[in-house]
Amino acid sequence: MARLPNPQLAQQWRERLERFAHSELTIAEFCELEGYLSASFYQWRRKLRSGELRKAPAFVPVDFNPSDLEGGAQRGVEIDLPGGAIVKVPVGATMAEQRQLIEAVVQATSAEVGS
C-alpha cells in the first residue's frame, strides 16, 4: 500500500535540518544528539531538497448532490483515497458524524505514515 506524505513529520524534519544548519556539528554528532540515524537525516534532506514532499492541501473541497450519484440515495457515498483506503459516508450521516469520520481517517492515516 502506498503511503501518503505526513506533513507534520516533514515539518519536523524541516525544523531539524534548520537546527543542524546552525549547530556547527557534524551530521553524525547531530543525529546522535537528536536520537536519529544518519541514514534518516540523509533521506529526509534529499526528499525535502528535491521537492519530493510538496505541500498538498489537507482537504480538497468537493461539491456534489447525492441524488446525482448512481444509487447514492440508497448507499451513501464511498471515497477511494490514494493508497487504497476507502471512506464510506452512510446515508443520512449528520455533520457531526461526518466530522468524526473525517477525523478518524486523518488520525489513522497520520499514525500509519508516521510509523
- 70/39 same-domain check: no
Q: How far is CA 66 from CA 80, 91, 93, 94, 109, in A?
A: 16, 9, 12, 14, 26
- 42/73 same-domain check: no
- 104/72 same-domain check: yes
The answer to whether the pTM exceeds 0.75 is: no
Residue 56 lies in a domain: no
Residue 22 lies in a domain: yes
Tens digits of per-residue pLDDT, 73-103? 556 777 777 666 777 777 777 878 877 887 7
H-run or E-run covering 102: helix 95-114
Question: 29 lies in which domain range?
Answer: 7-50
- 14/46 same-domain check: yes
Indicate the number of domains in the chain: 2
Minimal CA–CA distance to 53: which of 115, 3, 104, 108? 3
Residue 59 lies in a domain: no
